[in-house]
Chain A
Amino acid sequence: GQNIDQPTEMTATEGAIVQINCTYQTSGFNGLFWYQQHAGEAPTFLSYNVLDGLEEKGRFSSFLSRSKGYSYLLLKELQMKDSASYLCAVWSGGATNKLIFGTGTLLAVQP
């Protein structure tokens, strides 16, 4: 089966660092994406990991361990505008290129 787990909600303070974890069990794996989605808006691409290790992009970093079926998204120097849902998605690859999404983690950044 396909299973992607993320915490439902998290709260953090402006200026702090927060780590959002994602574990997955899927029949195929060709990479893992993180998307940000503000309420009522489109998901927007944040990062893509296909190899083990850390990918850094400004305030956002993403880590992947394929052997553990685990990823995390690290957000530094949190800003109020970072309050959003963060979606972990596995790219299944193969004949179909669909993304399999987790339920998303709703992050609330407080002053």
Chain B
Amino acid sequence: GAGVSQSPRYKVAKRGQDVALRCDPISGHVSLFWYQQALGQGPEFLTYFQNEAQLDKSGLPSDRFFAERPEGSVSTLKIQRTQQEDSAVYLCASSLGDPQPQHFGDGTRLSIL
């Protein structure tokens, strides 16, 4: 299918390790978003790209979180020196523009031991 693809689907890491989460948006989608979803909660905004430009990173919880989208397509969310509180589902979404609906990937379930 031509949906948003995220990898890996599941990631287990030890506290202190670095992790990288990948998002392949729908082809041609200009806008890309990262959200964090805790169990039983709604997604919370992390960061927003328009093409390769990161226009909003106000939701990133700390400077351990870093996102990039160097060619305006694939995006990577990196978490350095992971902590247990980073355990969550990380969702990526893309849209043609705004206010077009955001289309979500299945997410990466991150567990920090």
Contacts and interface: CB of A to CB of B under 8 A. Distances in A.
Interface of A: 4, 30-31, 33, 35, 40-45, 48, 50, 87, 89, 91, 93, 95-104
A97 B98 contact: yes
Nearest to A89: B42
Nearest to B4: A42
Given A96-B58, A104-B41, A33 B48 contact: no
Contact of A45 (B40, B101, B106, B107): B101
B55 A95 contact: yes
Given A41-B106, A93-B98, A97-B31, A103 B59 contact: no
Given A45-B102, A87-B42, A99-B33, 18 more contacts: A4-B42, A33-B102, A41-B106, A42-B4, A42-B91, A42-B106, A43-B104, A48-B101, A93-B99, A95-B56, A96-B48, A97-B33, A98-B33, A98-B48, A98-B56, A99-B102, A101-B35, A103-B42
B18 interface: no
Contacts, number: 66
B105 interface: yes
30 contacts: A31-B99, A40-B106, A41-B106, A42-B3, A42-B105, A42-B106, A42-B107, A43-B43, A43-B104, A44-B104, A45-B102, A48-B101, A87-B42, A89-B42, A91-B98, A91-B99, A93-B99, A95-B55, A95-B56, A96-B56, A97-B33, A97-B95, A97-B99, A98-B33, A99-B33, A100-B45, A101-B35, A103-B41, A103-B42, A104-B41
A48 B102 CA distance: 11
Nearest to A101: B42
Interface of B: 3-4, 31, 33, 35, 40-45, 48, 55-56, 58-59, 91, 95, 98-99, 101-107
